[in-house]
Structure 1
Amino acid sequence: MDGLTDLPRSGRPRTFTAEQVAEVKALACELPSVSGLPLTRWSYPELAREVTAPGVAEQISAFDGAADPGRRRDQTRAASLLDLSRDPYFAPKAARALDLYARMREDEPLGADDYVLSADEKPGVQARRRVCRPPPPASRRPMRVESEYRRGGTLAYFAAYDVHRAHVIGRCEPTCQCTRRG
């Protein structure tokens, strides 16, 4: 198992803990007005100043990847998964999730048969089928898609991601078609 350990990496060693990076990303996901700043969006210098003020980090470069307000979509997705709002219980919530990603639980390493799954469901997905099959693209003509479709009911999509084995598990199921009485 020694061959699975990380080799020394080139470059500067990390200066921020995973918790600090998560807190900076959570702040970058919020609008600056939540912090009482008269801004419509974060700039690097403003975000760096805001991070150092409450003591998340002693110092941070305005160009550090942890404080990248340009990656708002990814940070918003991570924030919604971990509920990374500025609530007082943020650190314990994030620590539990980050420990699982690091293959630890309650200061004990996870076993070989332990799994960490990140799961979600999307209920009410509209299943639609095209009425006509699209003609194949031709020379100098892109593929054309007919806009007419038939409804196929609604589906619920269930997905799980096995974090340590990089495996996606997904399936679609029909939703309940309850009849209305009365």
Structure 2
Amino acid sequence: MPRTGRPKAELTLTDDERQILTRWARRAKSSQALALRSRIVLSCSEGKTNKDAAAALGVTSPTVAKWRSRFIEHRLDGLVDEPRPGRPATITANQVEDVVVSTLEHTPKNATHWSRAKMAERSGLSKSTIGRIWKAFDLKPHRADGFKLSNDPMFVEKVYDIVGLYLNPPESAVVLSVDEKSQVQALSRSQPAFPMMPGMLERRTHDYARHGTTSLFAALNVADGTVIASTHRKHRAIEFRKFLTKIDKEVPDHLDIHVICDNYGTHKHPTVKTWLDKQPRFHIHFTPTYSSWINQVERLFAEVTRDLLQRSDHRSVQALEKDLREWVKAWNEDPQPYVWTKTADEILESLSRLMQRTTGAGH
């Protein structure tokens, strides 16, 4: 006789419980943790085994078993937080839901986001309780990140194209991630910095004098991390063409050159197109609009900003350009390639989830 495992405790729902769980599971802006727990309980209430429910929801059997038993023992309150020894909990599931929903779907009067004090005043709970609820559901209303979804009609095709170059580069070719860090300023502080000492941070004046700007043109070899770079005082099509000419001279003649760059106007200027038409080994791949994150050279620019520019003190553009050249030279002595791991399908799936969470997306 096949093993059936230990008999599972029967899980039945009242009409009110089913209505609340369905609301939690379907609410577009619910905490994902609470929504998943609700779907687990609803699935178990249909008579599914832990194994079947886990397969249907993409979780493990122990996870299903945990929330099945928690619900049977504590009902709706069991889905909110781990039970703790001591006095019984005085915060109900409805109070927690109200805090979570209010955090996600509303803003306080005369403010752009919630603070613990404002939410405590609204809900009648203590500030520490609000903090614990936010921590349990990974809510951080005091923080914000930036994004802009691409409106490029060829977005999917370009993602597959560029990620394909990263993960499966063509033979007898070099793949270069190319861009310009424009308007790099030569800045000098009004007074010398006070050096760091034990117990005291380095101190710099907030004001400075400007001594002009330059642009750093860089081509990152995605295979070995080496960089071809040059500086130009202006940032026009003619400078970009000169940089392409430098790339042409430095890359061995027997290799094709695949250039990944963004949609900046200078990259598509007739002057550049005419030059490229005469260079059959050059192949240009444009990133989708608003998608600089896919161009690996941006990570190099972040490195040079952190290592050199963030605390730089240059009293002339010439001094700034000299330091930029020396930084690139030092980088090439021990180049560090950036390892790309995500496939195009994984990227598109991640963006799809983001769009589903964005107001109005998918409707």
TM range (shorter): 0.3 to 0.5
Scaled by the length of structure 1, what TM-score is found? Answer: 0.42
Q: Which has the higher strand share?
A: 1
Q: Which is higher, the Rg of structure 1 or of structure 2?
A: 2
Q: Which has the higher helix share?
A: 2
